[in-house]
Chain A
């Protein structure tokens, strides 16, 4: 029978191919298999960002009342309390001012003859009082800024303190002063470039920045 030999050979060939394919699949699968392991904290780690908040309250009339009829040499004291109410310590407390008057008058544009401000702090709340004289501080008064022209303060905030602890209050006296100066009014007409009869509309702004960022281990 000459016809059976090729048929048997074909079957063997098919069987061998199938066996080889199966072996190849098995060995290939072994290459891609991997083991994984993880570790994690079983209690979630709380993470919260700090807050920086500054609030200002008048002590007495504060900035809430107009200052009128200021003569050369006059000083008008006003008292405010600042609270660093956030959770972060602050650095770089400054005072700036803007004048909404248009056009701006000599009161806030003349550094020599215009208004100037001094700021002092008291460890405890001031007793502002009223009328003639200054308010009182029960302990020691610390000057924070002295005779800073508003003409300067409009463009460059004046540094008051390098640090303010979270939750701390600052008790401040803000003294507005018009430098004494000579002018003669002739026949009821105010002189040219006078300091008299001028207006300003002041907005005082205290600004603090966060303390320096830190790297800690705990």
Chain B
């Protein structure tokens, strides 16, 4: 009957296929052996400093904007204190501090080599201006080696207007940039 295959012909075909495979395999089969390692975790380092008014690094880092209302009597607004936190894994040797403002008031970001008395504005050591805007400008930037060096370190800074406010509320935006050159050079280690 056309279209049907007898069991004998199926068996013959299977037998032929097996015979072909058996005779063909020696021509292409090549033994190989492999040795694999356990999974080796690798992590890359990171570097950076975040300015914040908080005691710890914010979950979403970014620039810090401080608002300075115009004081009564048209005087100079009092300084505000904030932290620069090394929120990454590597020690940092320098950073570039940036300062942008809504007005053209002269303002400075300052560090104290000792401890700030934030109530009186006094510093037990030496005060260093990290970045200052000049008269008539709205932005400034400067590089400094005064940084929160170690991973997790916190450096207390202050932002201090040095001129009388020119508007009802002046805002100052502080940023910190850390370039690759501010971290250690590559090393060769074993283990």
**Using a CB–CB distance below 8 Å, which chain A residues touch chain B?**
52-56, 60-80, 82, 84, 86, 88, 90, 100, 107, 115, 128-135, 176, 178, 180-190, 194-210
Contacts and interface: CB of A to CB of B under 8 A. Distances in A.
B33 A182 contact: no
Nearest to B51: A187
Interface of B: 30-51, 57, 60-64, 85, 87-90, 175-181, 183-191
A202 B38 CA distance: 8
Contact of A186 (B31, B42, B175): B175
B34 A195 contact: no
Given A52-B33, A188-B87, A196-B47, A133 B40 contact: no
B177 A128 contact: no
A88 B64 CA distance: 68
B178 A132 contact: no
A85 B164 CA distance: 83
**Which 5 A-B residue pairs are closest in the complex by CB-CB distance?**
A73-B186, A188-B50, A185-B48, A188-B61, A196-B46
Contacts of B45: 69-71, 196-197
Nearest to A180: B186
A196 B88 contact: yes
Given A133-B188, A188-B49, A204-B37, 11 more contacts: A73-B185, A74-B188, A128-B191, A135-B190, A185-B48, A185-B177, A186-B176, A187-B63, A188-B88, A189-B62, A207-B34
Contact of B44 (A80, A196, A210): A196
A160 to B, nearest CB: 12
A199 to B, nearest CB: 5
Nearest to B48: A185
B33 A77 contact: no
A76 B60 CA distance: 32
B32 A207 contact: yes
Contact of A70 (B44, B47, B64, B85): B44
Given A181-B180, A196-B88, A203 B185 contact: no
Contact of A71 (B50, B63, B90, B179): B90
A56 B37 contact: yes
A134 B187 CA distance: 10
Contacts of B190: 60, 76-79, 128-135
Contacts of B62: 187, 189
Contacts of A178: 44, 186
Contacts of B89: 69, 197
B43 A68 contact: yes
A107 B42 contact: yes
- Most A C-beta atoms less than 10 A away, residue of B61, B87, B186, B190: B190
Given A69-B45, A190-B48, A196-B45, A203 B40 contact: yes
A204 B90 contact: no
